[in-house]
A and B are shown apart, each in its own frame.
Chain A
Amino acid sequence: MLSLPRAGVGLLLLSGGAVALPGSDEPPLFVDAAAAARLDFRHSSGASAEKHIYETMGSGGGFLDYDNDGRLDVYLVNTAGPNRLFHGNPDGTFTDVTAKAGVDGGGSVGMGCSFADYDNDGFVDIYVTNLGPNILYHNNGDGTFTDVTAKAGVGDPLWSTSAVWADYDHDGYLDLYVCNYLRFSRADHRRCSYHDVPIYCYPHSYDGAPNTLYHNNRDGTFTDSTARAGVREDPRASKSLGAIWFDMDGDGDADLYVANDTTPNFLFENKGNGTFADISLVSGAAFGEAGVAKAGMGVDAADLDGSGRFHVFVTNFSFETNTLFWNEGGGRFSDRSIEAGLAGPSFVPLGFGANFLDYDNDGLLDLFVANGHVFDNAPLINPSTEYRQVNQLFHNLGLGRFQEVTGSAGPCFARKDVGRGSAAGDYDNDGRVDLLVMNNNGAVVLLHNQARARSWLGMKLRGAHCNRDAVGARVTVEAAGYRLTQEVRAGSSYMSQSDLRLHFGLGSRTQVNAIRVTWPCGKRQEVAPPAALNRYLLVTEPS
């Protein structure tokens, strides 16, 4: 176990465990640091008078550490322009290295991305989803990448959105699930209107497109195993935008949740033999309480109550609430959006990105939601809503309840924009989790977290026999009056990816009592608690 390099930690431990709601006498909780960090990216949607539906859906981005220097880098996807890779510098700024890396998307109509070391060579690779063939960039380990899509066989030609990685069959190599949205090409474009005013079409104007599960053959190639694994659905009922692998039932294997736009969501239970059972209906996770198929966008899952069970959160359309599917155990979920205090505040906004993060390190995972309408003339269709919307922050009060703290989270939370993908990660390694937000046809936002310093512990997991990124590993940290379980995930939110490292806020605690790791191949490990907190640990799978 090693301490990873970090910058600007210098933490002051505060006593007292009161909830750190942001107050006016403190610096803003978050500030937009994109400009200061030289993260100069502006998404270009390619908006046209034709109003092609894809123009309003992009895009995603995320945090990765492509050169293993212990600092997060950023990859941002563009729809009508080049994708960009920014290298994280020691001083908290970024340098555009796209040209050298060779990862600009080659003129594709970009949507989203996810990152994983699919060949276990120690360097994280980049997968880009597009309207049209997707791209897999293999990390050469020298700051450059090679497009290996054709060889790997993962160039899904449909309109892909989210892509998420997991080793669903425990063979030590990461497999890939790719969400596809609609059967659309420019040739299929339909003109939609509202009272003769052109608008972007609703998804019902097009057929859904089938998703694909790619099984990793362990030789740099993949095989479409969608049907064999039992995750093939009627493609017309599948208009997928968000997905997440998570161990729903604590049985050690990766289950799959998929958020669909206007059609019921999917939940596939991993049967442990390389196949899945569709438990969408009986689990209660396909529909919200009203039984209406909502417009599922982004998705995240987290242990919100120390139970070790991951609860699923899905963002939805305007005049639908976002949905918190509470994991009751036994493969059953119930819609607890109202009880959690997440229903009312989400009713009017249109949610896309979703991230659970402990922004104030009090030991409970809070919630960030990126909002923005899909119609640039939204008030025309519904005067009670707007195109540009504020993002939202919710503080976890414990016992499954949240309180919206958007109004006191800083001026950047008062700014209205057209939020899409979002990702969480501590880009400056100061122990406070930051946020990256993509805006449609707008500038990227880097929300730098300035919360009061509290104890925390970060972990980077490295697989040896399991996949190198330890995607799917489950870590439980225990301390006085504290237990929290997290998973390593590659791909979540809306077409985006958060930091692969795990982050545990610990409040005023000065030590942890236990760290238990369940590796994706099933091996269990007790990690000796560190003598001091406020650092990132490197935890390596034992041989």
Chain B
Amino acid sequence: MTGALVLAAVVLGQARPPDTGAAGLERAAARMADRDYAGALKLLEQLAARGKPDGIVYYQIGVCQTVLGRFEEALASLERARAAGLDGPELRGSLGIARYNLGDNARAREELEAALAARPADPTVLLYLGRLDFKEQRYVDAEQRLRRVLALEPANTGALFSLGRTLIAAGKTAEGKRVLERHRRLSYLSDRLKTLREAAAGPDAPAATLAEFGDTCLELGDRAGAAAAYARAEGLEPSGAATSLGRGKLAYFAGDFEAAERQLSRAAAQPGRACEARLYLGLALRELRRNDPARRAFESAAADCPVEVRVLQNLAELEIQRGQLDHALELADAIERLDPDAPGALFVRAVCRLYRKDLDGAEKAALEAARLDAADPEYHRLLRAIYGAKGDTESARRHELEMQRLIGQRKVNP
């Protein structure tokens, strides 16, 4: 509920602008736009008291009452709107939300399903239905709906959170934990961004603050904001020491791996930034097919920094590429020790087994990895190869399709 509820109620409430032309309604709408829901409600109630009002008046009263947490009254108002002849997905959605917040789940579902039938891509309605599914332990449905919300609104943290909870409840613990970790990180960054935005707004903001502001923008996907913050930081500190890591990551995400290498090589020499810089340097060098320097970057990260699954996984993959399967398997063991739920160790083992023609063993490990992380197309790419090697073209085709589907999903929701 909370902020999300306000947003949902307001979005639904304002989805259909008042079409009666009544000045009272317009004044109420203006109050609502100023977040003065109590004031808007008073105006609307006065309007309702004068004769026989349109359904839209009751509807807006219901929206205000929802935002003010007065759900029973909201429900009554929305039902009066319906009785007055108003109908449509906004009303059904609002009724669903009011009933949801009163714990009347069965009838909330009815209303929300009706709203969804009229607007199949309404993320607010989908989210509420996903939550209902979760509450009623319909985890498959919940997962589908919540993934749909995220496809429509990749930054919908409410859906991300509910999806993580759903996955854990459904026994997909590893993926659920990762989703929740991501959600927590985004939640932290959103709060941090407010702090940094305020700190960066002043004319005396130091370069370090501006650089961190840029880093936070970057992690939240705001590359333009990051670049602007870095530019300000570099104005204060022309050496660019504070921004080299961020600039390197920006270049990496933009696909300019040579520029990334230059910036990240600088950052890798700086205390405090070296660990992340070495990881991204390794990634950039891999993209440049410079595997030996990439391996050295990952090895130095593994030696000097807190051990990270991503570093070990990349190292293992590089070892496989140069035929060092035994070392890759050792690294897989290390990954598993670090995070028993990580599918990476299974992936490395599956690839090694494939190389060693242990196709059944490879299949088993790859299937388990795909089960642990259902959203990663790489496991299906591997399974396609394994089934190809086994001559099982039907299974290979199935995983090809799944891989394509997941790649498509990532394009929508990276």
Contact = CB atoms under 8 A, between A and B. Distances in A.
Interface of A: 190, 202, 204-207, 234, 236-237, 262-264, 280-282, 284, 286-294, 316, 319-321, 337-339, 341, 343-348, 382-384
Contacts of B164: 281
Contacts of A206: 195
Contact of B165 (A204, A207, A284, A320): A284
Interface string B57-68: 000000000011
Given A204-B195, A384-B35, A338 B160 contact: no
By Cβ-Cβ distance, the 10 closest A-B pairs, closest first, are A347-B69, A291-B161, A383-B36, A204-B194, A384-B38, A320-B2, A290-B4, A281-B180, A344-B69, A291-B158
5 contacts: A288-B2, A291-B157, A294-B2, A319-B6, A344-B69
Given A290-B3, A321-B1, 7 more contacts: A264-B188, A281-B164, A282-B177, A286-B184, A290-B158, A383-B36, A384-B37
A190 B161 contact: no
> Of A287, A291, A345, which is in contact with the most chain B CB atoms at under 10 Å from its CB?
A291
B161 A287 contact: yes
A67 to B, nearest CB: 45
A338 B102 contact: yes
Given A205-B198, A284-B165, A384-B35, A292 B102 contact: no
A204 B198 contact: yes
B103 interface: yes
B191 A293 contact: yes
A190 B195 CA distance: 12
Contacts of A320: 2-3
Interface residues of B, number: 47
> Of A207, A286, A292, which is in contact with the most chain B CB atoms at under 10 Å from its CB?
A292
A262 B184 CA distance: 12
Contacts of A237: 188, 191
Interface in B135-166: 157-162, 164-165
Interface string B289-330: 000000000000000000000000000000000000000000
B102 to A, nearest CB: 7
Contacts of B192: 236
B349 interface: no
B168 interface: yes
Contacts of A339: 103
Given A237-B188, A281-B180, A292 B34 contact: no
A187 B409 CA distance: 50
- Prevailing SS type, chain A contact patch: loop
Contact of B3 (A319, A341, A382): A319
B184 A321 contact: no
B395 interface: no
B60 to A, nearest CB: 15
B14 interface: no
Given A338-B100, A384-B39, A282 B1 contact: no
Contacts of B168: 282
B181 interface: yes
B71 interface: yes
B270 interface: no
A229 B86 CA distance: 60
A275 B164 CA distance: 26
B177 A281 contact: yes
Contacts of A294: 2
Nearest to B41: A384
Nearest to A346: B69
B107 to A, nearest CB: 14
Given A281-B180, A383-B39, A343 B191 contact: no
Contacts of A282: 168, 173, 176-177, 180
Contacts of B195: 204-207
A291 B35 contact: no
B174 to A, nearest CB: 11
A31 to B, nearest CB: 29
Contact of B103 (A292, A338, A383): A338
Nearest to B156: A291
Interface string B96-134: 000011110000000000000000000000000001000
B160 A382 contact: no
Contacts of A204: 191, 194-195, 198
Contact of A383 (B38, B165, B176): B38
A358 to B, nearest CB: 24
Contact of A319 (B2, B71, B176, B180): B2
B5 interface: yes
Contacts of A202: 194
B183 interface: yes
A297 to B, nearest CB: 14
Contacts of B160: 291
Contacts of B165: 284
B70 interface: yes
Nearest to B4: A290
A508 B111 CA distance: 44
A540 to B, nearest CB: 44
Given A292-B157, A338-B102, A338-B103, A281 B1 contact: no
Contact of B187 (A293, A345, A346): A293
Interface in B12-57: 31, 34-39
B35 A383 contact: yes
Contacts of A347: 1, 68-69
> Of B159, B164, B176, which is in contact with the most chain A CB atoms at under 10 Å from its CB?
B164
B33 to A, nearest CB: 12
B4 A281 contact: no
A209 to B, nearest CB: 13
Given A264-B184, A344-B71, A346-B69, A292 B39 contact: no
Contacts of B5: 290
A146 B69 CA distance: 49
A287 B191 CA distance: 14
Contacts of B173: 282
Contacts of A321: 1-2, 69
Contacts of A190: 198
B162 to A, nearest CB: 6
Given A204-B191, A286-B184, A290-B161, A344 B101 contact: yes
Nearest to B179: A281
B191 A263 contact: yes
> Of B159, B168, B173, B184, which is in contact with the most chain A CB atoms at under 10 Å from its CB?
B184
A204 to B, nearest CB: 4
> Of A234, A281, A282, A383, which is in contact with the most chain B CB atoms at under 10 Å from its CB?
A281
B198 A343 contact: no
Contacts of B34: 383
A245 B5 CA distance: 31
A384 B191 contact: no
Contacts of B2: 288, 290, 292, 294, 316, 319-321
A407 to B, nearest CB: 14
B131 A264 contact: no
A159 to B, nearest CB: 16
Contacts of B103: 338-339, 341
Contacts of B39: 383-384
A292 B69 contact: no
Contacts of B72: 344
B184 A281 contact: yes
B187 A264 contact: yes
B101 A338 contact: yes
Nearest to B196: A204
Contacts of B1: 288-290, 321, 337-338, 343, 347
